[in-house]
Structure 1
Amino acid sequence: MIHLETQSIQEGEVNNLVQDVPGQFFNMGRTIYLRFQEKLSGQDAAMVTFKINGNGEVQLTRQAGQMRSRMFFIANRKIEARYQTPYGMLPLETVTPKMSVSVSEHPDSGQISIDYELLSNGRKLGQYKIRLHFTA
């Protein structure tokens, strides 16, 4: 089971979303994968995958129809991201000022907390927060 809380702030507008969804958990060596469907009102469901590396780096992939994004999060780093639209690739960057990842065994469970900014061509598009708790 996955408990997901997200917050986005874009142009002064705040959006909060809380979801409890079933998901899949895979452990391959020191890498953990979480996969689930995110349901947004008025939109197609998106397939979401979190990849958590053994060193604490996180990759987030979302795909809904022809839209696909891949973002990378490392604390205190700016990293290129990819956002594929039907009209082509949109260059993005993530800046992650605050992030923590905690994973436990027996039972497999964990928490991911990421605060990040999304940039396009040096312009800030918004501020975002992800709070994810999972239990396998």
Structure 2
Amino acid sequence: MENNSFDINVELNIETLQSGELTRTKIAEPGKFTQIGKSIYLRFNESLENDQVASILVKITEDGEIHLKRVAKENNVASLLYFTHHQHNNGHLETEYGTMPLDTFTKDSQVEIVSNPLSGKINIDYDLIYDNNVIGNYKFRLIFNA
């Protein structure tokens, strides 16, 4: 089993449209690129208010499914979302009050990774769904390089 790990720089831009309000989030952090077998993992942190951080893990499976895990320990919040091109997926949000099911519908997804020099981009356009209602439209744009 192959296990390659590299330091990378990550730039993540997220555009959120909720209740008619557009929000943009930009994250630029150092991270790690790891390949185990045919799966790829990107790990990095998101700086939050009050010197707190959320750890983010993006996994790309052999069949192209994308898993997005975000854990903010200080806030007792964790989410796990799944993205498969043109499909609905079940995920969840864990809070101190319990677990809330969140679904995604992936309108579009693209993954491009180049090995020499190591770089890549992951684009996901998706709807976030709670209780069969779309609660937001998201554009996730991640670029990384070694």
TM bracket, shorter-chain basis: over 0.9
What is the identity, as a one-letter code, of the residue corresponding to 1:46? A
Q: Tell me, yes or no, if structure 1 residue 47 matches structure 2 residue 55.
A: yes
Q: Tell me, yes or no, if structure 1 residue 135 matches structure 2 residue 145.
A: yes
* Residue 108 of structure 1: aligned partner: 118
Q: Tell me, yes or no, if structure 1 residue 74 matches structure 2 residue 84.
A: yes
* Residue 37 of structure 2: aligned partner: 29
2:28 is paired with a residue whose SS is strand
Q: Unmatched 5+ residue regions in structure 1?
A: none
CA distance in 1, matches of 2:109, 2:35: 21
CA distance in 2, matches of 1:39, 1:8: 18
Q: How many residues align?
A: 136
Could you state the TM-score of these two structures normalised by the residue count of structure 1? 0.94
What is the identity, as a one-letter code, of the residue corresponding to 1:99? S
Give the direction of change, closer, same or farther, for the CA distance of 1:115–1:43 in structure 2 (3 Å limit): farther
Aligned residues with identical type, % of pairs = 35
- 2:106 paired residue among 87, 92, 96: 96
1:132 is paired with a residue whose SS is strand
- The alpha carbon displacement at 1:4 in A equals 0.8
CA distance in 2, matches of 1:52, 1:14: 27
2:125 is paired with a residue whose SS is strand
- The alpha carbon displacement at 1:56 in A equals 1.4
- 1:14 paired residue among 22, 25, 49: 22
- The alpha carbon displacement at 1:44 in A equals 3.1
* Residue 72 of structure 2: aligned partner: 64
* Residue 3 of structure 1: aligned partner: 11
- The alpha carbon displacement at 1:43 in A equals 7.8
Which structure has greater helix proportion? 2
Give the direction of change, closer, same or farther, for the CA distance of 1:123–1:19 in structure 2 (3 Å limit): same
1:69 is paired with a residue whose SS is strand
- The alpha carbon displacement at 1:41 in A equals 4.3
- The alpha carbon displacement at 1:59 in A equals 0.2
Give the direction of change, closer, same or farther, for the CA distance of 1:44–1:10 in structure 2 (3 Å limit): farther
* Greater alpha carbon shift after TM alignment, 13-22 vs 86-95: 13-22
Encode CA deviations 1:28-63: one digit per residue, 9 max, x unaligned: 111110000012446832100000112211000000
Could you state the TM-score of these two structures normalised by the residue count of structure 2? 0.88
